[in-house]
Structure 1
Amino acid sequence: MVTNDFWLERWQAGRIGFHRDEVNPWLTQYWPQVARGAKVLVPLCGKSADLLWLANQGYDVTGVELSPMAVVQFFGDNDLTYQTEQVGHLKIHQAHDLPLRIVEGDYFDFDETGFDACYDRAAMVAMPEEKREQYVQHTKQRLQAGASLLLITLSYDGEQAGPPFSVLDDEVQELWGEWIRKLASEDLLQLDERYQGAERSFYEESVWRITGQ
């Protein structure tokens, strides 16, 4: 069962193989044209360097992350000072010198709206199948009409208890709607030896985008 405690324990134990120190190349290649100053939402952000990249492009970045350890490590690793405010069940950590904040708490408790764009590298694939529709609907409610989305998914065959979970193309299109387009994909079995041990015929990472209407 993938619960909040599951993720908190993963961070506590340092079992964060999903984390990457570098900025995701899909982000830098395929981020949509969004006006500087736009509000960008990053669900389940961890301590990703992608947050810094977005802030340095001039966006007003809000990451949402369950693990307090991930939040502290993000600010510490990047030598950022910040201030913290408790708002209901959530803690808001605002960087002093960047248009960047991390909201600490359960993503489903986060109810701010009006975001112009969303970047999802690790959130949808972290959701078990029974929670994906709720996740997508909750995210859509955070976004303005016509907002942009950059989404990265995985699909694979064979057994894996997950996460990350396999999310098939049909499900992405059904949940996100007619405006989503697949831009690129690559089979990680051919690129990364970490995925070659299991008995699989494919392990595909795909990048999707909705460009604001």
Structure 2
Amino acid sequence: MVRAFVAPSAMTENQDWEEAWEYGFFAWHRPSWNPSLLRFFPLLNHDAGTKVLVPLCGKSRDMEWLLRQGYQVVGLEISGAAIEDFFRERGLEYSKTIRSGVTVWLGDNIEIWEADLFALPDAMTDATAFYDCGAFIALPPAQHGAYVENLMRLAPQLQSGLVMGLEYDQSLVAGPPWSINPEYVREKWGSWFESAELERDWDSSESARMNDKGERYAHLTIRLDRR
């Protein structure tokens, strides 16, 4: 029998996603910084002040880590409740403005655009780095090519970043999140980026947490550098 993950991206309609945030459904949200981010993002050698794009950011604590390293963060998130949680839980002051018809939440060295990822304006940011921790694998495979093209439409100056995901037997466990591997990432991102496997860990704490139901998962980190 194929078993589906209980995952936020199982809610395919934007309204469902927003309501889930509103009612605090996402108890799964990571309680600490992603250790792979801490380990691998410095390898990209971006200077302090670099703008880092974080698609489908939710209220990710990883954005706080990026801020602490001196980066400027540009988040993309459809749920206003998630964005408000990010600022409120950290006691950060924020304001709101409208750009190109989109509500943008502004804090110190951070801006989060509240909109559907595919409805944002062309070249909406001059970010040169990106951090994709779960956005790519949250979307169904049929949208992966469009997702990459859309990301480059929004941020045409991107030079390098990290894509993180999971590898597992999709015949045993139905997505989302969807299984990927380094070869698949190379196929989907290869028109724009060279890719390098940094991590394919079947024994990480993250993998162990998910393996308790009998399936095997590998935690993946892929580095991408602009061609």
* Same fold? TM cut 0.5: yes
Whether 1:179 and 2:159 are equivalent positions in the alignment is no
Q: Deviations over 1:24-74 (max 9, x none)?
A: 111111001112211110000010111111112111211111111111111
CA distance in 1: counterparts of 2:156 and 2:21, whole angstroms: 32
From 198, 212, 215, give the equivalent of 1:196.
212
Q: Residues 207 and 81 (structure 1 numbering): CA distance in 2 closer, same or farther, change over 3 Å?
A: same
Aligned amino acid, residue 205 of structure 1: H
Which of 5, 20, 26 is the aligned partner of 1:16? 26
Residue 175 of structure 2 is matched in structure 1 by 162
Q: Residue 224 of structure 2 corresponds to which residue in structure 1?
A: 210
Q: 1:87 to 1:142 in 2, by over 3 A?
A: closer
Distance 1:86 1:193 in 2: 41
Number of residue equivalences: 209
Q: Structure 2 stretches of 5 or more lacking a match?
A: 1-10
Quote the Cα distance in structure 1 between the aligned partners of 2:183 and 2:96. 41
Query: What one-letter code is carried by the residue in structure 2 that aligns with 1:109?
Result: A
For residues 192 and 127 of structure 1, the distance between their equivalents in structure 2, rounded to whole angstroms, comes to 24
* 1:168 to partner: Cα distance: 3.1
Counterparts of residues 1-213 of structure 1 (less than 5 Å): 2-31=12-41, 32-95=44-107, 98-111=108-121, 112-145=124-157, 147-157=159-169, 158-177=171-190, 179-187=194-202, 191-197=207-213, 199-200=214-215, 202-211=216-225
Question: Which amino acid in 1 is paired with 2:118?
Answer: F
Q: Determine the C-alpha separation between the residues in 2 that align with 1:71 and 1:146.
A: 23
Q: Is the 8 A contact 2:127 2:158 kept in 1?
A: no
CA contact (8 A) 1:42 1:119 kept: yes
Q: Secondary structure at the match of 2:70?
A: coil
Unaligned runs of 5+ in 1: none
Mean Cα deviation higher: 59-68 or 109-118: 109-118
Matched residue type, 2:34: N
Q: What's the C-alpha RMSD, in Å, of the aligned pairs?
A: 2.2
Query: Offset at 1:18?
Result: 4.3
Deviation at 1:23, TM superposition (A): 1.0
Greater Cα offset, 113-122 or 17-26? 17-26
CA distance in 2, matches of 1:155, 1:194: 12
Partners of 2:25 and 2:203 lie apart in 1 by 20
Cα distance, 1:99 vs. partner? 0.4
**Percent identity of equivalent pairs:** 32
TM-score relative to the length of structure 1 = 0.88
Alpha carbons 1:113, 1:141 under 8 Å: kept: no
